[in-house]
């Protein structure tokens, strides 16, 4: 069923309009519920997110929420970054590519639905299993009380900070990020609190 909020969101796109419309048409053929989540068309089964379609500067994609446990016989599923655990993208750079792969896209969407119906859960690391790199520990210790306050944060908050700090390519940027975050850490707040 077509969702009016998705119509509005897709109408605001300045790029990838034709491609996103076609991916939406394919998605609607699955019979899943269409919703707008994170500003993107998202398709759900029994209130569980199965996949969404989204666009970026150089491509548009179908993001399968449990892509890591799906069969991928054609090797089309891409892990966005090393920190993404369960989700996998199928990327497209043209309408021609989507048209050519239409039957395959439908098969992958059906596979994603089957995974959800079967209740299969991807194996993901718990936030508490992420290791704080030695470099970050040293940077935290440079600021009085911050290392101790960091240890008191929830594992999820610690993980978010570590990913933020280590996402910087240069040591100076990592150090600046730790310094900027220090007051929030001392207050027991997470990165986005």
| CATH code for the domain in which residue 48 is found | 3.90.1150.200
pLDDT tens-digit profile of 91-111? 999 999 999 999 999 999 999
Closest CA to 84 of 61, 105, 59, 67: 67
Question: What pLDDT was estimated at residue 127?
Answer: 57
pLDDT on residue 57: 92
What pLDDT sits at residue 192? Answer: 79
Within a domain: 62? yes
Number of domains in the chain: 2
In a domain, 191, yes or no: no
Tokens of 8: 């509005």
pTM higher than the cut 0.85: no
Does some domain include residue 64?
A: yes
Q: pLDDT (tens digit, 9 = 90+) per residue, 124-175?
A: 776 556 677 788 888 899 899 999 999 898 887 888 888 888 888 898 998 9
Whether residues 132 and 106 share a domain: the answer is no
Please tell me what DSSP assigns to residue 14.
S
Residues 105 and 135 in one domain: no
Same domain, 41 and 20: yes
Q: Once rounded to an integer, what is the mean pLDDT over residues 10-17? A: 91
- Do 135 and 103 fall within a single domain? no
160 or 18, greater pLDDT:
18
- Domain of 174 in residue numbering reads as 127-186
Q: Which of 85-89, 104-108, 113-117 has the lowest mean pLDDT?
A: 85-89
Residues 14 and 105 in one domain: yes
DSSP letter string, 106-141: HHHHHHHHHHHHHT-------GGGPPPPHHHHHHHH
- Same-domain check for residues 174 and 152: yes
% the chain with pLDDT above 90: 63
| Same structural domain, 109 and 154 | no
**Together in a domain, 66 and 114:** yes
Q: Is the pLDDT of residue 70 over 70?
A: yes
Q: What is the mean pLDDT of the chain?
A: 90
* Higher-scoring residue by pLDDT: 62, 137: 62
Same structural domain, 102 and 147: no
Residue ending a domain, among 118, 143, 172, is: 118
Instruction: Mark whether 151 and 72 lie in a shared domain.
Output: no
The encoded tokens of residue 85 equal 């655990």
* Beta partners for residue 51, in sequence order: 43, 64
- CA angle, 118 then 119 then 120, to 5°: 95
Q: What is the mean pLDDT of residues 8-25?
A: 93
Count of Cβ atoms closer than 10 Å to residue 126 Cβ: 9
Place of tokens 């090393």: 82
Buried b (16+ CB within 10 A) or exposed e, 150-186: beebeeebbbbbbebbeeeeeeeebbebbeebbebbe
Q: What region does 57 belong to: left with phi over 0, alpha with psi -120 to 50, or beta?
A: alpha
Confirm whether 77 is domain-assigned.
Answer: yes
pLDDT at res. 46: 93
Residue 146 falls inside a structural domain: yes
Do residues 30 and 91 both lie within one domain?
yes
């Amino acid at each position: 069923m077509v969702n009016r909020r998705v119509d509005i969101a897709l109408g605001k796109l300045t790029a990838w309009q034709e491609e996103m419309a076609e991916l939406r048409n394919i998605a609607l053929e699955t019979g899943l519920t269409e919703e707008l989540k994170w500003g993107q068309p998202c398709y759900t089964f029994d209130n569980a997110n199965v996949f969404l379609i989204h666009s970026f500067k150089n491509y548009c994609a179908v993001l399968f929420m449990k892509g890591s446990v799906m069969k991928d016989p054609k090797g089309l599923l891409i892990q966005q970054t090393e920190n993404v655990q369960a989700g996998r993208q199928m990327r497209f750079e043209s309408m021609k590519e989507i048209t050519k792969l239409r039957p395959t896209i439908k098969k992958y969407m059906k596979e994603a639905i089957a995974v959800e119906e079967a209740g299969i859960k991807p194996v993901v690391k718990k936030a508490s299993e992420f290791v704080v790199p030695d470099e970050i520990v040293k940077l935290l210790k440079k600021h009085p009380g911050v290392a101790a306050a960091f240890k008191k944060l929830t594992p999820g908050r610690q993980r978010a900070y570590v990913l933020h700090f280590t996402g910087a390519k240069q040591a100076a940027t990592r150090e600046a990020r730790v310094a900027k975050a220090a007051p929030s850490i001392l207050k027991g707040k997470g990165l986005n609190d």
